Amino acid sequence: MTVKPLSRVTCTAGLLLVELAPTATAQPMDLPVEPGQDSVPISSPKVTKTFAQVPVAPNAPAFAAQPEWLTPTETVSPSSRSQEAERMAGRSPISDTTPIARPERLEPTDLVFLKSSQSQTLPVSTRASDLGTLKPASVAISQPETIREGGKGDVSGHRGARVGAKEVSPIPQPPTPIPSPSSPPPNPQSPILNSQAQPASPTPSSSRTSSPISPSVGATFTTGPGIGYSSSYTGLKGFIPIRQQPGQNITFAEAQAFVDTGEGSPGANLVLGHRFYDPKSDRIYGGYLAFDHRNTGNHGFNQIGLGVETLGRTWDARANVYLPVGDTRQLASESVSSFATALSDPFFQGNFLARSRTIQQQIDRRYEAAATGVDVEAGGKILSLGQGDLRGYGGLYYFGAPGGNGTIGWRTRLEARPTENLQLGLALSRDNNYGTNLVFNVGVTFPINRSNRDSLREPLLARLGDSVYRNSNIVIDQQREFRQTTIQDTQLITNPTTGQPWRFRHAVPGVGTGDGTFENPTGTVAAALAVAQPDDIVYVQSGINPGIPAFTIPDRVQVLSTGPIQRIDTVELGNFQLPLSGAGVLPSVVGTVTLGNSTTLSGFAITAANGAGIVGNNITQTTVRDNAIANTGTQGILLTNVQGQVAITDNTIQQAGAEGVSLINNAGQVDLLLTRNQISNNGNRTTDGDGVNIELRNNAGGNFTITNNTITNNQGTGSIADGVEVKLFNAANGTFNVTDNVITGNQLNGVAIDLEATAQGTFNIARNNLSNNQLNGVGLFLSNDAQGQFNLDNNTIANNQFSGLQAVVSDRANSIVTFTNNTITNNQDTGILLQTSDQAQVTATLLSNSIINNGNDGILTLTNDTALLRLFAASNIITGNGFSGVALNTFDTASTAASLRGNTITGNTFSDLDVFNLTPGTTTCLQPLNNAIGSLVLDDSNGAAGQIQVETGSLPTNSVTSPDFTFWSGTTVPAGTCGF
């Protein structure tokens, strides 16, 4: 048996300094020690030495000492030895009852070799328990770890000692019979020193470590992806000894809870295991039963685990079995994608609109399945590392899941334990299902109730408390199933508003008595309406009936004919033209059609001798389109107290007894769209025959869009028919957009706007043709406390029999009028007439207009009473008018402030620009800048206090051909006085 022999033993001040040679061999020999000698050379090899300093309690009955190991390369000089001895001597002696945890301690049965300080020879082999009777001198320790009292012959079978982190192999020694403490000292000449002694009987090395395995807690982190999982996971674990015989066996429980770092899905393990140490083979054997749970974020899985293992100093082996239980295969997700490969044209079938289609359908299902598996591995120590070691392993595994293919793979890994508390791992695996995975893991462990003896526990026996190595994460096989089918079906066309199929009630007047299906239509519209449900369409063909009687449309029902093109919104086809529509024949209705809430009427020729063609009263939301309304007793369309969205589009309305379209509201808000209608020749039975009449009272209001209509030749019997008339009374209000219309030949104004009381409105009148009307192209009338803002842009206002534009503002009304880019020509009287009276105020802005060839004045202002007019005119062309180009007239105590900039005012018959203050107390402030003026007349002679004030320096900026200041007072005021 080889041992690290003693090169030198020194005893100083109760401290044994043992100098060990690492690998040499030595035999015990009889070495004379002279009295007082404190150091004896024992073996000759000169190698790197390791020192163990062993404090000795003199006269202790048991040699209980705890070495402090120095580094292998350190040398100790005699002086340093003495200093170390003195330092160590200052420690408190270790008593015989002090438990020593490390296996390097000396126990009463350990054999030692020593010499006394006298010139006597002692037995070579002596029990450590006998040291208490001897004076410490030079002590030779044959093996610092485990040489036990044995039988005769040898001490083979004992394992080597661990010095620091180095293994030391034992060597055979010639032990002698060991005297008891009461035996007399042996004879110095005893042949026992030179003869073979009988060896002591061997004792299991586990008897040297009696401290129990402590409970512990720890944390782990494992990277992903790995075998059967995709994300890293981290967890907390605990090790709990249940029952143990220290150094021999242990029954334990191990628990772990972990969480997936990707989706936060949890998992847990519970392991119940047993391990025992076999001294004969010097190995640990164990087995375990485990229960595992894993939640994938979609489902939970469970499994039972079984395993066996054997752990040794140089090599380990283990095998694990994984058995999923419960529902081992579960559906994680499903998606269905369909696409039509062939579609027919839509057709009517029963009460529905449908189409045939061939559909390719693909179903994609993803399953999660827990895999049954087994793995085996073997490996061992590669090298020492810090306080521990580095081990390597290799093995095979098999995993197979229901619904999938099993796979065999290999795995190799490294496991490093540089300290008692830290474990590092790196594993590389490869198989056909889970691919190649490189996984790193780290774990830290903290013993509970740690004792000083834990750190000294024999390394192999300490592994009784190791965690079980196995797959803690249940292996999940991700499986996908694809299925493709071909389906022939009939698809019903869907209403996007309701999400339900469009439903039709078919009617063919004068034909059949059916139930309203396409194959069996009703013979009357009334019969179809009787069975119609909300969101239905009553679809009417022309038939042979000479006239459909008056009818009422139920709420949320559309009544459509096949005459015009009919389009509906669909989910499948977008905005789609209905089959049979566009036939061009409008079914005739002889009587009034009454609208309900959210209804549509389209495609009928309506006459009603005694009333309006279409009536809607106290309803919300309606559409009237593509109808021909004629020869009605009163209005073509009459709407009263309607709210919500109202659309009147693409109708022809003519020869109505009263207005073509009339909307009269006393309350509520309405959004009116009036577009692409032909409204003409109405008003032949009443005094008021406007093409379009809108009246709002009380607090009624809304938004009104009148665009792209043709409104012509409307004539009332009482000579009061405007093309478009808007009347706001009381506190009514609204925003009106009158754009892109042709409004001509009407009996009064093309557009007439009347605001009274406290009504308010904004009017945008743009791109209209307002011509040949018998009064004004546009007439604006404000009274009381009304307020209006008017924006006229790019209109053609021509050949009207009075003015192109007339604005009459009275009382306390306030108006802002802006004229931009209009062409105002050949009107029989005035191009623009602004009349302001009482306490009214008007702010007028004229920009880039052409005001040409009107019969009287181009621009005429009449400001009376205490009214105020502010006029800003720039870049206008005012020429060829029959009297004055611009005539500013102020009366009473009224005021006019005018800024004229960059205008061309020439070629007008009487004068180009004339300014008159006609009564005392009037004031006109004039700022003429950079105008081209033919003739200029300023006259304030009729009132001593009624001066025409001209801003200083402004007149010379103008080009004036013929100035006439004969009757002007010559009053000038500083620049800016006029307020522009």
Question: Can you give the three-state secondary structure of 231-281, one letter per residue?
Answer: CCEEEEEEEEEEEEECCCEEEEEEEEEEEECCCCCEEEEEEEEEEEEECCC
Residue 484 CA to residue 90 CA, distance in Å, equals 89
Beta bridge partners of 646: 622, 672
| pLDDT, position 451 | 53
Q: Cite the beta strand spans of 821-931 per DSSP E.
A: 823-825, 832-836, 841-847, 850-852, 859-863, 868-874, 877-879, 884-890, 895-901, 904-906, 911-917, 923-929
Report the candidate in 921, 913, 911, 912 with the shortest Cα–Cα distance to residue 890. Answer: 921
pTM above 0.75, yes or no: no
Cβ 307 vs Cβ 318: under 8 Å: yes
Q: Phi, psi at residue 930, to the nearest 5°?
A: 60, 35
Q: How many helices (H) and strands (E) does the chain have?
A: 3, 74
Residue 527 CA to residue 973 CA, distance in Å, equals 82
End-to-end CA distance of the chain: 122
**Residues in the chain with pLDDT < 70?**
1-210, 449-457, 718-719, 943-945
Residue 950 CA to residue 968 CA, distance in Å, equals 10
| pLDDT, position 486 | 86
C-alpha 519 chain-centroid distance? 51
Top CATH class, 216-330+376-398+413-472? mainly beta
Beta bridge partners of 394: 378, 412
In degrees, rounded to 5, the angle at the alpha carbon of residue 338 between the alpha carbons of residues 333 and 340 is: 175
| pLDDT, position 64 | 35
225 preceded by a cis bond (ω within 30 of 0): yes
Q: Which residues of 745-762 are buried (b: 16+ CB within 10 A; e: fewer)?
A: bbbbbbbbbbbbbebbbb
CB atoms within 10 A of CB 343: 14
| pLDDT, position 489 | 86
How do residues 123-156 score in pLDDT, each as one tens digit? 333 333 333 333 333 333 333 333 333 333 333 3
Token pair 């002694």 is found at 197
Residue 839 CA to residue 965 CA, distance in Å, equals 30
Beta bridge partners of 489: 357
Beta bridge partners of 241: 252
Q: Are strands 832-836 and 6-12 parallel, antiparallel or unpaired?
A: unpaired
Contacts of 676 (CB under 8 A, 6+ apart): 649, 650, 708, 709
Residue 955 CA to residue 930 CA, distance in Å, equals 8
Mark residue 562 as left, alpha or beta (left: phi above 0; alpha: psi -120 to 50; beta: remaining).
alpha
**Domain coordinates in residue numbering, the chain:** 1-203, 216-330+376-398+413-472, 493-585, 608-775, 802-980
Residue 662 CA to residue 629 CA, distance in Å, equals 14
Cβ 679 vs Cβ 653: under 8 Å: yes
- What are the tokens at 454? 């834990």
Q: Are strands 6-12 and 904-906 parallel, antiparallel or unpaired?
A: unpaired
Report the candidate in 649, 645, 534 with the shortest Cα–Cα distance to residue 637. Answer: 649
Q: Are strands 814-820 and 692-696 parallel, antiparallel or unpaired?
A: unpaired
Length of the chain: 980
Q: Phi, psi at residue 952, to the nearest 5°?
A: -55, 135
863: burial class by Cβ within 10 Å (0-12, 13-18, 19+)? buried
The DSSP code for 129 is G
Residue 686 CA to residue 692 CA, distance in Å, equals 14
| pLDDT, position 339 | 78
- What are the tokens at 242? 């249940």
Token pair 């061992």 is found at 380
Residue 656 CA to residue 662 CA, distance in Å, equals 11
String of DSSP letters for 410-477: EEEEEEE-SSSSEEEEEEEEEETTTEEEEEEEEEEEEESS--TTGGGS-HHHHGGGPPPPS--SPPEE
Residue 920 CA to residue 818 CA, distance in Å, equals 30
C-alpha 718 chain-centroid distance? 67
- What are the tokens at 360? 């390719």
Beta bridge partners of 17: 10, 53
How many angstroms separate the Cα of 872 from the Cα of each of 406, 836, 918, 928?
92, 16, 21, 10
SS3 content of the chain, % helix, strand, coil (to 5): 5, 50, 45
Cβ 85 vs Cβ 199: under 8 Å: no
- What are the tokens at 764? 């945008």
Q: Which residues of 248-257 are buried (b: 16+ CB within 10 A; e: fewer)?
A: bbbebebebe
Number of alpha carbons in the 13 Å side-chain half-sphere of residue 295: 13
